[in-house]
Amino acid sequence: MSKLQLYLISFLLITSSLVHSASKNEIDESMYQAFLLITKKDFISSNAAYLAILEHENDMDLSQLSNIYNSLLELSYILDNKDDAKKYGNKLISIIKDEPDYVKAYERLKYRICSSQDWAKFRYIFIEHCG
């Protein structure tokens, strides 16, 4: 079986498990599988897997949502997709910026997108958050 077939099967398993309303554990398991694709440097399949998980956004808690949007933001940087970076970065900011339990996460995110060298190429996208 080729690598492509293996990845396709993995992706289909992830997405098919999410066709119905998903439990917290099912979402967590799908997130883990999407993360494993990142560790294998299969960024396109991982991105697709995270997007499939978002189909169950209404079934997710804030922790799951923030982790998924953070992963999609990271993947958008890796895949050099400024439109996705803007979309997922702004969504992540909007869901965590006023949450007391996410103050540190918000500050780390803000530092990363506004000050770190590794995100310099997309800094202009988040200028309204960097003032």
Model confidence pLDDT, tens digit, residues 94-115: 999 999 999 999 999 999 999 9
pLDDT of residue 23: 87
The three state secondary structure string of 101-121 is HHHHHHHHHHHHHHHCHHHHH
Q: pLDDT (tens digit, 9 = 90+) per residue, 25-54?
A: 999 999 999 999 999 999 999 999 999 999
pLDDT of residue 125: 92
* Average pLDDT along the chain: 88
CA atoms within 13 A on the CB side of 23: 3
CB contact at 8 A, 21 and 56: yes
